[in-house]
Amino acid sequence: MTDIPRILIVDDDRIIVKTLKFALLKHDYIIDSCHSGMDAIELVKKNEYDLVLLDVVMPVINGYETCKKIHEIIEELPIILITANTEDKSLKEGFDVGAIDYVRKPLNLVELQARVKNILRIRAAEKEKEDIYIKLRKEVKLAARIQENMLPKWVYLDDKLIFSSHYVPSGDVGGDLFDWIKLDSRRYVAYVADISGHGVQAALLMTAIRNILKMFVENMRNDIHIPTLLNQLNQRLSNELFETNYMTIILGVIDTETRQFEFLNAGHPPILEYNTVLKKTYIYDQKGSVPLGWDTGIKYTDEDVETLQLRDDSVILLYTDGLNEAIDEDGNEFGIEGLRRIIESEINIDSCIAFPFRLKDYMSKMKFNIKEDDFTLFCFQLQDSTSIISDGVIKKKVLFKVRSMLKDVGNTASTCEKKVLEWTRDRRLASEVELIIDEFLNNIIIHGYNYKHDAIIVVEFSFIKGKLLIKFWDKGIEWVPSSITYSRENPYSFDDDVYMEGGKGIHLVLSMVNYFSRIRFENINETVMEIDIEK
């Protein structure tokens, strides 16, 4: 639409069209005209108009039908009907199909000009508001991308620790904040926080607080004292950033050598620990204090600090109240106890990697409203390549974080081949595993991520007596739409079209495994393969 208003005149009477053009051209409008409803519809498809003057009585299709069809193309386009019939029923029919006004025949040109001018003025004001809204939406979208890039990636691995997270703001941006900061080879600061309020204001505060907190951590990197850190942060936020806002937070230090997590809870929902072997959940809410920003005189002390002993088979959950305060269709709150029950009885979890996505997926399926507030689930667990599980069987495990680049695939596949050879002394099996890893990672990169180079794939490769298990987690497209099982007894009982969309090599992979499953939770794909190596 140009700055000069553009008007379309539609009337089968050519004299009336000329009269209307004469009356309007003196106002420097751009005028188009036609003599049938069908021509008007075609012109509306091709051009942008600010107003349509439309005769009611026309051959083929009348003005009412034309008005209706025009609004199917552009719903908000103003239309003034030109009619000789002023009966209430006729006028009502015009308004019912979307006309904004009408003028009577014979035409009063002064009245027509006034009505046109008024509608165009309103239209211009609406367009200005729409332009402002579009500009704001673009800025908010940009802010959302910046916020997303500031937060940690969905998974982090090193040789001692795993972090996994899932964050969904209630709008484009939100006020939840979480992060981990590596202090040295064995210590990490980890925290999750929730700033009061929503939208752009909360997001801007989140950005500022993240940077301030990181600066405070860096200043005391060698000797982190949690109460002192939060006292400094409380003073800074209360004096400089918070007016009516406040922030709940859990912040702690993970020590992989002492296997402890020391933390302070300032008004935040409690930490949960889930034991993946015992299938039990433990709630840590014995200590804590008030949120930051409530009282500038508050002093956090060592008495507020709690210590959690970390176990190999436990996942630690940090989250915001958008999770536990979610409401289902009957108005029931999810709650901490609901969270505990669901984790223990409904979700099969043996690793923190997919935990946030499995839980969010379950809540969505159970119709919990998770859009009223920001949703954050941030969890971690110790990582050990060799561990003893409760029945005394040795389980060996290796985790890889693979960038979606083809050059990384070969190194991962080769390492897995060497591990199989080390664990089983079976060269044929080692070669098969190398081929499986290579083919499937290539498939995810090419067809799931479409060569997106900043994406991540996690591979878990484990050996339990008699079985090799290979798991893949990726956030690519859902190229397999549902759960799939596979057995060698019926190796080709699948839909060729589905797998061809997934790329070549899938048939080859399926022929070498005893079990194959690919399921999507929220926006993450989890693939499980099993190879029976018992003689």
Is the whole model's pTM more than 0.75, yes or no? no
Residues 213 and 256 in one domain: yes
Mean pLDDT by 10 residues, the chain (535 residues): 82 91 86 94 94 92 93 92 77 86 86 90 85 77 71 88 88 80 94 83 82 92 93 91 89 96 95 90 88 88 94 91 83 85 84 89 83 82 62 68 84 89 87 90 85 85 84 85 46 45 64 86 90 73
Residues across the chain: 535
What is residue 165's predicted lDDT score, i.e. its pLDDT? 92
Q: Is residue 136 part of a domain?
A: no
* The domain boundary residue, chosen from 384, 416, 437: 384
CATH number at residue 466: 3.30.565.10
Give the DSSP H/E element, type plus range, for residue 24.
helix 14-25
Where in the sequence is the domain holding 33, given as residue range(s)?
6-131
* The domain boundary residue, chosen from 100, 131, 162: 131
Cα dihedral 144/145/151/156 (nearest 10): 140
Residues 474 and 513 in one domain: yes
Q: Which of 37, 22, 127, 25 is nearest to 82 (CA)?
A: 37
For residue 50 the two structure tokens come to 């600010």
Residues 400 and 379 in one domain: no
CATH number at residue 25: 3.40.50.2300
What is residue 492's predicted lDDT score, i.e. its pLDDT? 43
Contact 322, 328 (CB under 8 A): no
Give the DSSP H/E element, type plus range, for residue 31.
strand 30-34
Strand, coil or helix: 396: strand
Residues 409 and 278 in one domain: no
Type of residue at 220: M
Type of residue at 15: I
Residues 303 and 157 in one domain: yes
Residues 373 and 402 in one domain: no
Residues 371 and 393 in one domain: no
Which residues on neighbouring strands pair with residue 182, listed in sequence order? 188
Residues 212 and 302 in one domain: yes
Contact 413, 420 (CB under 8 A): no
CA distance 237 to 104: 65
For residue 479 the two structure tokens come to 């190229």
Residues 344 and 198 in one domain: yes
- Taking residue 500's Cβ as centre, other Cβ atoms within 10 Å add up to 11
- The total number of structural domains in the chain stands at 3
CA distance 426 to 420: 7
CA distance 282 to 270: 10
What is residue 482's predicted lDDT score, i.e. its pLDDT? 41
What is residue 488's predicted lDDT score, i.e. its pLDDT? 47
Rounded alpha-carbon distances, angstroms, from residue 304 to 214, 222, 228, 533: 22, 21, 12, 52
Residues 174 and 46 in one domain: no
CATH number at residue 199: 3.60.40.10
Type of residue at 115: R
87 Cβ contact list (under 8 Å, min separation 6): none
What is residue 255's predicted lDDT score, i.e. its pLDDT? 96
Residues 95 and 161 in one domain: no
Q: Is residue 197 part of a domain?
A: yes
Contacts of 206-214 spanning 24+ positions with Cβ under 8 A: 206/147, 206/174, 206/175, 206/176, 206/177, 207/146, 207/147, 207/150, 208/241, 209/177, 209/233, 209/237, 209/241, 209/247, 210/150, 210/177, 210/179, 212/236, 212/237, 213/179, 214/179, 214/181
Residues 180 and 324 in one domain: yes
